[in-house]
Amino acid sequence: MKPDTQRVRELIGENEIDKAIQLLLEYSDAGHYRDLQDQVYLQKGNWSEFKRRRLAGVAEEKEFNSLKLALFNIARDLDDRPEEPEKPRRPEPPPPPPPPPQQYVARCYFNGDMNSYFVTPGNQVVMVNPVTNFSSLVATRVASMNPAFAWLYMFPNGFYYSIDHNGAIWGLNNFGMPMQMGHVQYL
């Protein structure tokens, strides 16, 4: 859509320079007119300088006329450009569907980890990729021998986290001290 530069010309003629500059900024911000934005900002700076000089009593009428002429030229440049059709936007792919809620019995949340971990009815712990919605096996759910814990989150290499009866996931920090690593939400 071509901008309505007639309104810009009217504003300049009425000495409504602030409004004319604002309208030109709106037009130059759209689509294939962005290369004119620098010129409009330059004239906006010139207008501010002229107002400052006018308050100081040292501004000349020829400065004002050259500013108006520059704004008219920008408006003419907008008129002279051929109207470009809008480029069709590439449709965004639909978001991946969420994992089926009936397929899992629990969800594990780890502090600082944005991935989704789910426990299957077969006691497998899978990580679901949020982009592709594919799952991969990362651990297994194993019964705990310690009565203080409900079950263990056991990795294939033998490393494990202990899950207490309230759903807190416990691990050991670098000093061998127990530390809550996250929590489990039972579905």
Summarize pLDDT for 13-31 with one digit per residue, the tens. Answer: 878 888 888 888 887 776 5
**CA 153 – CA 162 distance, rounded (Å):** 6
CA proximity to 85, closest of 1, 183, 148: 1
pLDDT at residue 1 is higher than 50: no
Cβ pair 159, 168 in contact under 8 A: no
Residues 76, 111, single domain; the answer is no
Residues 74, 11, single domain; the answer is yes
**CA 38 – CA 77 distance, rounded (Å):** 14
Q: Which domain holds residue 175?
A: 101-186
Instruction: Name the DSSP class of 113.
Output: -
What lies within 8 Å, CB to CB, of 52 at 6+ separation is none
- In this prediction the pTM is 0.45
Confidence of residue 75 (pLDDT cuts 50, 70, 90): confident
Residues 178, 107, single domain; the answer is yes
pLDDT at residue 187 is higher than 50: yes
Which strand (E) or helix (H) includes residue 89? none
Q: What are phi and psi of 9, to 5 degrees?
A: -60, -40
Choice among 12-16, 61-65, 116-120, 177-181 with the minimum mean pLDDT: 12-16
**For residue 143, what pLDDT is reported?**
93
Q: Is residue 93 part of a domain?
A: no
Choice among 63-77, 97-111, 124-138 with the minimum mean pLDDT: 97-111
Instruction: Name the DSSP class of 17.
Output: H
Instruction: Name the DSSP class of 33.
Output: G
